[in-house]
Structure 1
Amino acid sequence: MALPNDRYYIDRIMEGDSQAFAPLVDRYKNLVYTLALRMVKNTEEAEEAAQDTFVKVFRSLEKFKGESKFSTWIYRIAYNTCLDRIKKHKSVPLAVAIDDYGTRQLRSTENVLDTLDDEERHRVMQECLQQLPGEDAFLLTLYYFEEQSLEEIAKVIGIKANNVKIKLFRCRKKLGEILRAKLEPEIISEYERERK
């Protein structure tokens, strides 16, 4: 039996049934925490940001008009909550040089990743995402792991879809540089030699 959609729970909450919020929290809590962790890079901060997100969602539920998916709306609140926490703590994001990292190196790194088994590839990707600046990891998570469209991500972070595409390209390059440094250089060199 399929679970009711988000609108069902939202309507019940709006009618005064505050207990109907629990299924929405259950549905989105893992992802909100993951997104928060990607941005703030600290488990305690991520837990607090996730809790703050759900408090804000509950308090402003009447503002949700249904113009976007409910998940997009929650991600936007999570994103803004994390940005506020980052600004409050004035943490400096990790800088990754991308100027010398071209499309060929990106493809080589992706192809090396393809040679790893699923579990190892997942582990490597998670470790490398943790090294990215928070906003970059957030964007890549929404696009690649949550399969959000460019338009949905644009609504989450408040920019145009074309700008999201540019940001995602830059994020991928940064991730590629981190992956390249993480993976054994011999493996990549060997692969590049075979491709010549």
Structure 2
Amino acid sequence: MAKPTDRELVDQARSGDAQAFGVLVRRYQKRIFRLAFHLVRSGAEAEDVTQETFVRAYQALDRFDGRSEPFTWLYRIAVNLSLNMIRARKPSKNSTPADDPRIEALLLETRPSHGVDPAASTQRRELAAALCDGIDALSDTLRTTLILVCIDGVPHEDASRILGCPEGTVAWRVHEARRKLRAYLAERGFGGDAE
């Protein structure tokens, strides 16, 4: 038996099938959490955003018009909730803590290491922390777009629907965010290898 599509699950959930909505939640819960975590930079707040995203989506099932894919709709809700949370909190974080899980994710290697070079490992950790600080220093708009496209792998077409702007604007924002990140890293002594 083939897995139901997201649209079929939304239609079933609209008809009162709570299990269908549960399948949709399980399909996207980790991605929504990851997106929220990168935006709000707090595990507890990302959990709140994730939960609230699905609560709001469930409450608004009747208003889902089908012009976009359900995952795009869910992402849009999560982005809006994340940005609202960021705006509501007092500015308190000026630098990335050493135990930020984003740093560990950046340091994961896909190839086995032949002997660990402590100096290189320290330099990679410093670069990862500077990269996280640089991402955090971007405007909400640039950071959100960069995270959607470059970290979460959302295509420009979908990102434009999620963010409510033209694809060309998404491309410009990604370009501008990367340019600012390169400048930020260069100011901190990380040269051309910081791509």
TM over 0.5: yes
Match of 1:168 in 2: 174
Q: Within the alignment, does 1:19 sit opposite 2:19 as a pair?
A: yes
- How far 1:80 moved relative to its partner? 0.4
State TM-score, norm by structure 2: 0.70
In 2, Cα distance between the equivalents of 1:69 and 1:124? 39
Q: Which has the higher contact order (CA 8 A, sep 6+)?
A: 1
Q: Is the 8 A contact 1:128 1:175 kept in 2?
A: no
Match of 2:132 in 1: 130
- For structure 2, the residue ranges without an aligned partner over 5 or more in a row are 96-107, 112-120
Report the CA distance shift for 1:125/1:184 in structure 2 as closer, same or farther (over 3 A). Answer: closer
Q: Deviations over 1:144-164 (max 9, x none)?
A: 344323232122112222221
Identity across the alignment (%) = 31
In 2, Cα distance between the equivalents of 1:13 and 1:170? 40
Report the CA distance shift for 1:86/1:179 in structure 2 as closer, same or farther (over 3 A). Answer: same
State TM-score, norm by structure 1: 0.70
Q: Deviations over 1:105-140 (max 9, x none)?
A: xxxxxxxxxxx95369x9889756632135444322
Report the CA distance shift for 1:22/1:126 in structure 2 as closer, same or farther (over 3 A). Answer: farther
Amino acid at match of 2:81: T
In 1, Cα distance between the equivalents of 2:53 and 2:125? 27
Report the CA distance shift for 1:94/1:181 in structure 2 as closer, same or farther (over 3 A). Answer: same
Bigger CA drift: 152-161 or 27-36? 152-161
- For structure 1, the residue ranges without an aligned partner over 5 or more in a row are 96-115, 189-196
Q: Within the alignment, does 1:71 sit opposite 2:71 as a pair?
A: yes
Q: Within the alignment, does 1:10 sit opposite 2:10 as a pair?
A: yes
Q: Is the 8 A contact 1:36 1:46 kept in 2?
A: yes
Q: Is the 8 A contact 2:36 2:79 kept in 1?
A: yes
Aligned-residue CA RMSD (Å)? 3.3
* Aligned pairs, number: 166
Report the CA distance shift for 1:163/1:92 in structure 2 as closer, same or farther (over 3 A). Answer: farther
Amino acid at match of 2:72: T
Q: Deviations over 1:63-101 (max 9, x none)?
A: 111111211111110010011111211437879xxxxxx
Q: Within the alignment, does 1:141 sit opposite 2:147 as a pair?
A: yes
Q: Is the 8 A contact 2:131 2:185 kept in 1?
A: no
- How far 1:15 moved relative to its partner? 0.9
- How far 1:165 moved relative to its partner? 1.5
Match of 1:118 in 2: 110
